[in-house]
A and B are shown apart, each in its own frame.
Chain A
Amino acid sequence: MSNEAILHEHQTGAHDAGHAHEHHHHETFITKYVFSQDHKMIAKQFLITGIIWAIIGGLFSVLFRLQLGYPESTFPWLEDFLGNWAKGGKLDPDFYYALVTMHGTILVFFVLTAGLSGTFSNFLIPLQVGARDMASPFLNMLSYWFFFAASIVMMASLFVQTGPASGGWTIYPPLSALGEASSGSKIGMDLWLISMSLFIINALLGGLNYITTVLNMRTKGMSMTRMPLTMWAFFFTAVLGVLSFPVLLSGCILLLFDRNLGTSFYLSDIVINGKILPNEGGSAILFQHLFWFLGHPEVYIIILPAMGIASEVMSVNSRKPIFGYMAMVGSLFAIAALSFLVWAHHMFVTGLNPFLGSFFVLLTLLIAVPSAIKVFNWLTTLWRGNIRFTPGMLFAIGFVSMFISGGLTGIFLGNSALDIHLHDTYFIVAHFHIVMGVAGMFGMFAGLYHWYPKMYGRYMNNTLAYIHFWVTLIGSYLIFWPMHYEGLAGMPRRYYEFSGWESFNMFGGLNQFISFVSIIVFAAQLLFVFNFFYSIFKGRKVTELNPWGAASLEWSTPIRPGHGNWPGEIPEVHRWAYDYGKDGRDFIPQTEPVGEDESKH
């Protein structure tokens, strides 16, 4: 038996699968839509689950913004809707914390991780590298179902009597480790940990598939440096996930033990309700290290796919090659590598040795270099391009704007001395919402508007899309920009109300304004959701193979590709994915052989 035989077997196997499909259609509803092993269907499953979570998570933020913006008012309808959690029309403080925690957890993990890389890595990797499907379609399917299971458990935690986890999305012990500490630290916290463990398995199975598909399954001629930047971004994202999520898993397991078996991994010297606990010798800071060793790469797990999508969409719609392809790949790599070395910048004020802190300051600020390279290259890609302002393009440009604004505040925070003042204030909230939350969502929207025709064979409505874009862009700045001022003035995050502070009363009006705008922005997202689902059934049909005139491989498939993607042979690739505006031609697809007298790029 030879290694060659094994390698070969897989390729032909996949090929046969592609063929078989055309001839006999014995797919049932179950195998086509539910337990599907087609990467395109799995992508849509991730997407729609993500959309549902985004609506829930977004709604939560509207609810707690009501409390923050209108602390004096009551909303009797809230009681009809939430019962005891909003007695007399005012959010219960415990429930407020539950909402904030769930908002963070849902948006960071379920929407911007599973919903973003789950959707686009699955959808685009086989299409853009030229493969029939993922390396292992079966594990890919399992990956979605683990996500589904995680979703069910998290959803269930919303309905238990003591409420879901409420210690913040970072679930720091000892608060999260002791059931007596708060109602959200009871069963809701266990469910959170179980759900996240399932989620980590989903991320792992997905990530392994993405990595191996990119490395092993590229079609003939698709060398690594001919891949679109989306592929590089998803590849590095997967590597980050595979290496950092397991550390969170370890942290979660130890926390589960502390909660349920009486161990003392994170607990020491604790008095609760006048009772001295026997736990001794553990360290709450240890958890922070484990959490942020994942937590910081996690923020890049969110933003790298968005970067990849923005690069691709911007190049296509500027009708210009992406500026500095190799620099883009290099900076993705630098960001991915550095992201493992900066986690303690979230812990500057935990009592971390300031000498050690200074190393983390240095490494943190170093990330600004590759980030700036990317920004520079995006702007130069736009420079003198024939820009088509499609909705996807607008969101891609919006992404760059958000990334710049939020990245700049990161430089403030990366200085450990400044961070003493800014830590745990609204400045942080502003920083990460702009640079990760909004930018991540913008990347997702850019991708959705751009690849929707490939996903569903129809277009989304442009007018609704433009309204969606402008309301979201302006609204997001209006919501998060003022938070910088609140944070600089010292207003702490994660507080139920600020009436106890004379000095923050001046922000009453501002808070009201922020809450008001968030309701509008939330409504604009519902517009998007409507547009999305409506267009699946009623959208304008796609009639040409390559509506955007893009060079990459996914547009060489039929308008509605079946399982196996290409009806015949997988096309061979002869050039990189960015031959736009070359030799007087608008674009040259990757499948076209390099001509005799073609100029070099």
Chain B
Amino acid sequence: MTTATAQPTTKLWSGGKSPFNVSYGKLMMWYFLMSDAFTFGAFLISYGTIRFSQNVWADPNHVFNAFPFMGHANLPLAFVSLMTFILIFSSVTMVLAVHEGHKMNRKGVEKWLVWTILGGLAFLGCQAWEWTHLITGEHEVLVNGAIQSWGTTVTHNPWGPEVLFNGKEVATPGPIAFGGYFFGITGFHGFHVFSGVVINIIMLIQTRMKVFENRGHYEMIEKAGLYWHFVDLVWVFVFLCFYLV
């Protein structure tokens, strides 16, 4: 991208041109992302206040220790690390798509967009597996002096502190807010990833139909890219808040 032709900075704001030297579309995207950051911010801050108002919370190393096809092997955070890696990798491929766009290389844009879409779909698939595993994977919980089997849902949390019962370590119910926030926020993020995949598919179709080639630039890919990187960035925070602390 060429930078601004040399102009005194005082003239930048005097009208007749874009002061930040960006098109209105990108400017809009930036403001939209700021707005969306506030949506996520509100969710995460809510989560934080509720979580720290509780005496106990679920231990992520305990909750997220499963891996597909690995049976009951204890692999804390392995799967979510894979998910994170996939998502970050898809950001890299998105960068490459944008880069090919600058070079007006349609084939290259298509190639990297396909990889980005695959990355997004893989992430969503992983998330679907993780959710299913949590909801359907039953755990023994001591409730009112009897053992029950609970999955992790928005109304049940089998990850409370453990107590001795009949000579065995058994979990007690944990704060139910855990499930609500976990599914609520990762779900909202997943919805963003889903939207991003849809947007990227539309971009791919338009690229194939030579819409951007005829237009003379691939700016739409850049805008889609901004959104996609934002979604990845949000994941970093979600990851931090739910899996690491």
Contacts and interface: CB of A to CB of B under 8 A. Distances in A.
5 contacts: A10-B23, A135-B27, A263-B179, A263-B180, A263-B184
B28 A281 contact: no
Contact of B176 (A135, A216, A257, A264): A264
B87 to A, nearest CB: 22
B47 to A, nearest CB: 9
A135 B2 contact: no
B69 interface: no
Contacts of A246: 35-36, 38-39, 42
B129 interface: no
A212 B28 contact: yes
A61 to B, nearest CB: 32
A216 B13 CA distance: 9
Contacts of B38: 243-244, 246-247
B23 A254 contact: no
Nearest to A208: B28
A290 interface: yes
Interface string B107-146: 0000000000000000000000000000000000000000
Nearest to B102: A1
Contact of B24 (A213, A245, A247): A213
Interface string B180-193: 11001000100000
B174 to A, nearest CB: 10
9 A-B pairs with the lowest CB-CB distances in the bound complex, closest first: A220-B16, A263-B180, A222-B15, A250-B42, A135-B24, A246-B39, A218-B15, A1-B217, A247-B42
B67 to A, nearest CB: 28
A324 interface: no
Given A219-B16, A220-B15, A265-B50, A249 B31 contact: no
Nearest to B46: A286
B22 to A, nearest CB: 7
B53 A216 contact: no
B58 to A, nearest CB: 12
A251 B217 CA distance: 40
Contacts of B155: 262-264, 278
B199 interface: no
Contacts, number: 163
A335 interface: no
Interface in A1-48: 1-7, 9-10
A503 interface: no
Interface in B73-95: none
A220 B11 CA distance: 10
A243 B33 CA distance: 10
A435 interface: no
B9 interface: no
Interface string A251-281: 1011001000111110000000000001111
A223 interface: yes
B49 interface: yes
B214 interface: no
B16 A218 contact: yes
A281 B176 contact: yes
A242 B216 contact: no
Nearest to B3: A3
Nearest to B20: A215
A205 B87 CA distance: 28
B166 interface: no
A578 interface: no
Interface in B39-64: 39-43, 46, 49-50, 53-54
